[in-house]
Amino acid sequence: MTKSTLPFTLGIIIIAIIGIIFQIPFDKVITESHFSNFQIEYLVLSVKMSSIFFLSLILINNLKEKALSGLDSSYKWSFKFINLIPFYLFLLGISTFIDKDLSLVEINNLLLLLLACLMVGFAEEYIFRGFLQPLFIKKYISHKNGIFLGILFPALFFGSSHLLNLTVNDNIPQVIGQSIYAVFIGFFFGVVLLKTNKLIPLAITHGLINFFFLFNSLPNLNSTTDINSETRIEATLTEQITISIIPLFIFLPLFIIGLILLRKINKEQIQEKINL
Protein backbone atom coordinates (compact mmCIF):
# COMPACT_ATOMS: atom_id res chain seq x y z
CA MET A 1 0.00 0.00 0.00
CA THR A 2 2.82 2.39 0.87
CA LYS A 3 4.40 2.34 -2.59
CA SER A 4 1.17 2.80 -4.52
CA THR A 5 -0.61 5.34 -2.31
CA LEU A 6 0.03 9.05 -2.75
CA PRO A 7 1.97 10.60 0.16
CA PHE A 8 -0.78 13.22 0.50
CA THR A 9 -3.35 10.51 1.13
CA LEU A 10 -1.11 8.88 3.73
CA GLY A 11 -0.54 12.25 5.36
CA ILE A 12 -4.27 12.78 5.74
CA ILE A 13 -4.72 9.24 7.07
CA ILE A 14 -1.94 9.78 9.62
CA ILE A 15 -3.54 12.98 10.92
CA ALA A 16 -6.90 11.18 11.12
CA ILE A 17 -5.34 8.32 13.10
CA ILE A 18 -3.66 10.79 15.47
CA GLY A 19 -7.02 12.50 15.94
CA ILE A 20 -8.69 9.17 16.75
CA ILE A 21 -5.96 8.20 19.21
CA PHE A 22 -6.39 11.51 21.04
CA GLN A 23 -10.12 10.94 21.35
CA ILE A 24 -9.64 7.61 23.17
CA PRO A 25 -10.53 8.24 26.86
CA PHE A 26 -7.43 6.69 28.42
CA ASP A 27 -7.95 8.95 31.44
CA LYS A 28 -11.09 6.97 32.38
CA VAL A 29 -8.96 4.00 33.47
CA ILE A 30 -6.75 6.12 35.72
CA THR A 31 -8.21 6.85 39.14
CA GLU A 32 -7.84 10.30 40.68
CA SER A 33 -7.40 8.69 44.09
CA HIS A 34 -3.89 7.60 43.09
CA PHE A 35 -2.83 10.38 40.71
CA SER A 36 -3.16 14.16 40.55
CA ASN A 37 -4.76 15.90 37.58
CA PHE A 38 -1.29 16.84 36.33
CA GLN A 39 -0.11 13.25 36.52
CA ILE A 40 -3.21 11.94 34.78
CA GLU A 41 -2.79 14.47 31.96
CA TYR A 42 0.82 13.54 31.26
CA LEU A 43 0.38 9.81 31.83
CA VAL A 44 -2.37 9.87 29.21
CA LEU A 45 -0.20 11.96 26.88
CA SER A 46 2.64 9.46 27.27
CA VAL A 47 0.35 6.54 26.43
CA LYS A 48 -1.12 8.26 23.38
CA MET A 49 2.27 9.33 22.06
CA SER A 50 3.68 5.85 22.69
CA SER A 51 0.90 4.47 20.49
CA ILE A 52 1.82 6.88 17.69
CA PHE A 53 5.52 6.08 18.12
CA PHE A 54 5.01 2.32 17.78
CA LEU A 55 2.77 2.91 14.77
CA SER A 56 5.56 4.95 13.18
CA LEU A 57 8.06 2.13 13.79
CA ILE A 58 5.79 -0.26 11.90
CA LEU A 59 5.36 2.18 9.03
CA ILE A 60 9.08 2.96 8.77
CA ASN A 61 9.92 -0.74 8.78
CA ASN A 62 7.38 -1.30 5.99
CA LEU A 63 8.76 1.65 4.02
CA LYS A 64 12.29 0.18 3.95
CA GLU A 65 13.95 3.58 3.52
CA LYS A 66 16.03 3.69 6.70
CA ALA A 67 18.71 5.86 5.12
CA LEU A 68 16.18 8.58 4.32
CA SER A 69 14.53 8.05 7.71
CA GLY A 70 17.79 8.69 9.53
CA LEU A 71 17.89 5.20 11.05
CA ASP A 72 20.57 3.56 8.93
CA SER A 73 23.58 2.74 11.12
CA SER A 74 25.88 2.68 8.06
CA TYR A 75 25.57 6.48 7.83
CA LYS A 76 27.57 8.43 10.38
CA TRP A 77 26.17 11.33 12.36
CA SER A 78 27.33 14.28 10.26
CA PHE A 79 27.35 18.01 11.02
CA LYS A 80 26.48 17.39 14.67
CA PHE A 81 26.72 21.10 15.51
CA ILE A 82 23.51 21.72 13.54
CA ASN A 83 21.57 19.95 16.28
CA LEU A 84 22.70 22.69 18.66
CA ILE A 85 21.02 25.49 16.69
CA PRO A 86 17.67 25.18 18.57
CA PHE A 87 19.59 25.60 21.85
CA TYR A 88 18.35 29.19 22.03
CA LEU A 89 14.86 27.75 22.53
CA PHE A 90 16.13 25.85 25.58
CA LEU A 91 17.41 29.13 27.01
CA LEU A 92 14.11 30.90 26.33
CA GLY A 93 12.23 28.12 28.08
CA ILE A 94 14.61 28.14 31.05
CA SER A 95 14.28 31.93 31.37
CA THR A 96 10.58 31.53 32.20
CA PHE A 97 11.25 29.61 35.40
CA ILE A 98 14.82 30.49 36.37
CA ASP A 99 13.54 32.77 39.16
CA LYS A 100 11.09 30.21 40.56
CA ASP A 101 11.62 28.12 43.70
CA LEU A 102 12.57 24.78 42.12
CA SER A 103 12.68 23.09 45.54
CA LEU A 104 8.87 22.94 45.38
CA VAL A 105 8.96 20.66 42.33
CA GLU A 106 8.29 16.99 43.03
CA ILE A 107 10.79 14.71 41.31
CA ASN A 108 8.12 12.26 40.16
CA ASN A 109 6.22 15.05 38.40
CA LEU A 110 9.44 16.32 36.84
CA LEU A 111 10.33 12.88 35.47
CA LEU A 112 6.80 12.32 34.22
CA LEU A 113 6.86 15.62 32.34
CA LEU A 114 10.25 14.74 30.83
CA LEU A 115 9.02 11.29 29.77
CA ALA A 116 5.86 12.71 28.19
CA CYS A 117 7.77 15.39 26.30
CA LEU A 118 10.34 12.91 25.00
CA MET A 119 7.53 10.62 23.83
CA VAL A 120 6.01 13.57 21.97
CA GLY A 121 9.38 14.24 20.35
CA PHE A 122 9.94 10.62 19.30
CA ALA A 123 6.36 10.07 18.12
CA GLU A 124 6.15 13.22 16.01
CA GLU A 125 9.65 13.01 14.55
CA TYR A 126 9.34 9.35 13.66
CA ILE A 127 5.91 9.69 12.05
CA PHE A 128 6.49 12.96 10.16
CA ARG A 129 10.25 13.03 9.49
CA GLY A 130 11.03 9.33 9.71
CA PHE A 131 8.09 8.04 7.67
CA LEU A 132 6.26 10.80 5.79
CA GLN A 133 9.29 12.83 4.67
CA PRO A 134 11.00 9.93 2.82
CA LEU A 135 7.76 9.33 0.93
CA PHE A 136 7.59 12.93 -0.28
CA ILE A 137 11.30 13.03 -1.11
CA LYS A 138 10.95 9.90 -3.24
CA LYS A 139 7.94 11.46 -4.99
CA TYR A 140 9.60 14.80 -5.78
CA ILE A 141 13.32 13.97 -6.02
CA SER A 142 13.26 14.24 -9.81
CA HIS A 143 11.76 17.76 -9.71
CA LYS A 144 13.90 20.89 -9.82
CA ASN A 145 12.93 21.86 -6.26
CA GLY A 146 12.26 18.27 -5.24
CA ILE A 147 14.12 18.26 -1.94
CA PHE A 148 12.47 21.53 -0.87
CA LEU A 149 9.02 20.10 -1.62
CA GLY A 150 9.92 16.77 -0.02
CA ILE A 151 10.68 18.59 3.23
CA LEU A 152 7.97 21.25 3.05
CA PHE A 153 4.92 18.99 2.63
CA PRO A 154 5.66 16.79 5.69
CA ALA A 155 6.23 20.01 7.66
CA LEU A 156 2.83 21.27 6.50
CA PHE A 157 1.20 18.03 7.63
CA PHE A 158 3.05 18.34 10.92
CA GLY A 159 1.69 21.85 11.36
CA SER A 160 -1.80 20.74 10.32
CA SER A 161 -1.79 18.02 12.97
CA HIS A 162 -1.63 20.74 15.62
CA LEU A 163 -5.01 22.01 14.46
CA LEU A 164 -6.41 18.99 16.30
CA ASN A 165 -5.85 21.06 19.43
CA LEU A 166 -8.98 22.99 18.47
CA THR A 167 -10.93 20.10 20.01
CA VAL A 168 -9.58 21.01 23.45
CA ASN A 169 -8.57 24.67 23.08
CA ASP A 170 -11.09 27.35 22.09
CA ASN A 171 -8.35 29.97 21.64
CA ILE A 172 -8.38 29.77 17.84
CA PRO A 173 -5.56 32.32 17.19
CA GLN A 174 -3.30 30.44 19.61
CA VAL A 175 -3.90 27.08 17.89
CA ILE A 176 -3.42 28.56 14.41
CA GLY A 177 -0.21 30.27 15.56
CA GLN A 178 1.02 26.99 17.02
CA SER A 179 0.31 25.24 13.74
CA ILE A 180 2.27 27.84 11.77
CA TYR A 181 5.37 27.75 13.95
CA ALA A 182 5.16 23.96 13.95
CA VAL A 183 5.64 24.21 10.17
CA PHE A 184 8.72 26.38 10.75
CA ILE A 185 10.37 23.97 13.16
CA GLY A 186 9.19 20.95 11.15
CA PHE A 187 10.88 22.30 8.03
CA PHE A 188 14.09 22.97 9.97
CA PHE A 189 14.07 19.47 11.45
CA GLY A 190 13.48 18.01 7.99
CA VAL A 191 16.57 19.74 6.63
CA VAL A 192 18.64 18.77 9.66
CA LEU A 193 17.65 15.12 9.20
CA LEU A 194 19.04 15.10 5.66
CA LYS A 195 22.21 16.95 6.72
CA THR A 196 22.99 14.87 9.81
CA ASN A 197 21.63 11.45 8.71
CA LYS A 198 20.23 10.82 12.19
CA LEU A 199 16.64 10.94 13.47
CA ILE A 200 17.12 10.14 17.17
CA PRO A 201 19.00 13.36 18.05
CA LEU A 202 16.16 15.31 16.42
CA ALA A 203 13.57 13.44 18.47
CA ILE A 204 15.49 14.20 21.68
CA THR A 205 15.89 17.88 20.75
CA HIS A 206 12.18 18.10 19.94
CA GLY A 207 11.28 16.55 23.28
CA LEU A 208 13.59 18.85 25.26
CA ILE A 209 12.16 21.95 23.59
CA ASN A 210 8.69 20.89 24.73
CA PHE A 211 10.04 20.05 28.20
CA PHE A 212 11.60 23.44 28.83
CA PHE A 213 8.57 25.31 27.51
CA LEU A 214 6.18 23.22 29.63
CA PHE A 215 8.30 23.30 32.78
CA ASN A 216 6.11 26.06 34.19
CA SER A 217 3.14 23.69 34.14
CA LEU A 218 4.66 21.66 37.00
CA PRO A 219 2.51 21.78 40.16
CA ASN A 220 3.69 24.05 42.99
CA LEU A 221 6.07 25.92 40.69
CA ASN A 222 3.99 29.01 40.01
CA SER A 223 4.50 31.86 42.44
CA THR A 224 1.77 32.59 44.95
CA THR A 225 1.88 36.17 43.69
CA ASP A 226 0.48 35.08 40.34
CA ILE A 227 -2.90 36.56 39.54
CA ASN A 228 -5.71 34.33 40.72
CA SER A 229 -7.36 32.61 37.76
CA GLU A 230 -10.79 33.73 38.96
CA THR A 231 -9.82 37.38 38.71
CA ARG A 232 -8.25 37.17 35.27
CA ILE A 233 -10.07 39.00 32.52
CA GLU A 234 -10.58 36.93 29.38
CA ALA A 235 -8.39 38.22 26.56
CA THR A 236 -10.11 39.87 23.63
CA LEU A 237 -9.71 38.41 20.14
CA THR A 238 -7.24 41.16 19.26
CA GLU A 239 -5.16 40.36 22.34
CA GLN A 240 -5.28 36.64 21.53
CA ILE A 241 -4.02 37.33 18.01
CA THR A 242 -1.25 39.61 19.28
CA ILE A 243 -0.07 37.07 21.85
CA SER A 244 -0.21 34.29 19.26
CA ILE A 245 2.02 36.19 16.82
CA ILE A 246 4.96 36.45 19.25
CA PRO A 247 5.97 32.75 19.05
CA LEU A 248 6.08 33.02 15.25
CA PHE A 249 9.03 35.40 15.51
CA ILE A 250 10.71 33.03 17.97
CA PHE A 251 10.55 30.07 15.61
CA LEU A 252 10.89 31.91 12.28
CA PRO A 253 14.74 31.94 12.49
CA LEU A 254 14.71 28.13 12.38
CA PHE A 255 12.76 28.20 9.11
CA ILE A 256 15.18 30.75 7.62
CA ILE A 257 18.20 28.72 8.76
CA GLY A 258 16.56 25.65 7.25
CA LEU A 259 16.27 27.41 3.89
CA ILE A 260 19.95 28.36 4.05
CA LEU A 261 21.06 24.83 4.97
CA LEU A 262 18.86 23.41 2.23
CA ARG A 263 21.05 25.07 -0.39
CA LYS A 264 23.99 23.03 0.88
CA ILE A 265 22.30 19.64 0.52
CA ASN A 266 23.73 17.48 -2.27
CA LYS A 267 20.82 16.15 -4.32
CA GLU A 268 22.87 13.27 -5.70
CA GLN A 269 23.68 12.08 -2.18
CA ILE A 270 20.00 12.07 -1.31
CA GLN A 271 19.22 10.06 -4.44
CA GLU A 272 21.85 7.51 -3.44
CA LYS A 273 20.02 6.93 -0.15
CA ILE A 274 16.81 5.88 -1.88
CA ASN A 275 16.15 2.12 -1.72
CA LEU A 276 19.58 1.25 -0.32
pLDDT per residue as tens digits for the range 236-267: 878 888 888 999 999 999 999 999 999 999 99
Question: Would residue 234 count as lying in a domain?
Answer: no
Alpha carbon distance 133, 191 (integer Å): 10
The whole-number pLDDT of residue 222 equals: 64
pLDDT tens track for 135-189: 999 999 999 899 999 999 999 999 999 999 998 888 999 999 999 999 999 999 9
* DSSP 8-state class, residue 213: H
Residue-wise DSSP of 2-67:
TTTS-HHHHHHHHHHHHHHHHHS-GGGGS-TTTS-HHHHHHHHHHHHHHHHHHHHHHHHHHHT-HH
Question: Would residue 173 count as lying in a domain?
Answer: yes
Residue whose C-alpha is closest to residue 118's, from 175, 45, 10: 45
Q: How many CB atoms within 10 Å of residue 10?
A: 18
Least confident of 54-63, 106-115, 219-228: 219-228
The whole-number pLDDT of residue 125 equals: 98
Q: Which residue has the higher pLDDT, 98 or 156?
A: 156
Number of structural domains in the chain: 1
User: For residues 129 and 193, is the Cβ–Cβ distance under 8 A?
Assistant: yes
Alpha carbon distance 152, 188 (integer Å): 9
pLDDT tens track for 203-239: 999 999 999 999 999 998 865 444 444 444 567 878 8
Question: Would residue 71 count as lying in a domain?
Answer: yes
Task: Give the domain range for residue 37.
Answer: 7-223+239-273
Alpha carbon distance 163, 60 (integer Å): 24
The whole-number pLDDT of residue 238 equals: 82
The whole-number pLDDT of residue 234 equals: 63
pLDDT tens track for 28-39: 888 777 899 999
Helix axes 146-161, 172-196, angle to 10 degrees: 140
Question: Would residue 155 count as lying in a domain?
Answer: yes
Interacting residues of 36 by C-beta distance below 8 A, sequence separation 6+: 109, 219
* DSSP 8-state class, residue 126: I
The whole-number pLDDT of residue 242 equals: 84
The whole-number pLDDT of residue 54 equals: 97
Question: Would residue 204 count as lying in a domain?
Answer: yes
Question: Would residue 232 count as lying in a domain?
Answer: no
Q: How many CB atoms within 10 Å of residue 266?
A: 11
Q: How many CB atoms within 10 Å of residue 69?
A: 24
The whole-number pLDDT of residue 217 equals: 92
Question: Would residue 1 count as lying in a domain?
Answer: no
Question: Would residue 44 count as lying in a domain?
Answer: yes
Percent of the chain topping pLDDT 90: 78
Question: Rounded to two decimals, what is the model's pTM?
Answer: 0.92
